[in-house]
Amino acid sequence: MSPENGPRRSSRFRATCLALAFALTSLVGCGGYPEVSDRTYEIATAIHGICNREQTENLPVAEKLVEDSLLDGSISEKEAGWLLRIIETARSGDWDAAESEAKRLMSDQTG
């Protein structure tokens, strides 16, 4: 493999992994997301707003919220995983999919 193929190949690999992670996340039991903590709902709401406005600069803030909430026990590891996957989807540039997934997480709590 030539040196110039390395970054392009790794970028494609990362994109494929993100797409696979999103597809697996979308399969969260055909009924949607299970009940989540109030803190997870709050963070999902914030992520939804960030995605709606395509605020790349606020993605690290959302990621820190997730990490801090996981550390203080206000969200579970599973909830953190869902939220971080949504953030990664936004970070990859697929704002619509990330916004839709955050909205789905929120709406599954009220239905």
Read off the pLDDT of each residue in 38-52 and give the average, rounded to a whole number.
97
Phi, psi of 74 (to 5 degrees): -85, -10
**Whole-prediction pTM value?**
0.73
Q: In the prediction, which pLDDT does 29 show?
A: 46
10 Å Cβ neighbour count for 52? 14
Q: In the prediction, which pLDDT does 51 show?
A: 98
Q: What is the DSSP letter of 1?
A: -
Q: In the prediction, which pLDDT does 110 show?
A: 83
Is 38 a residue whose pLDDT tops 60?
yes
Q: In the prediction, which pLDDT does 7 show?
A: 53
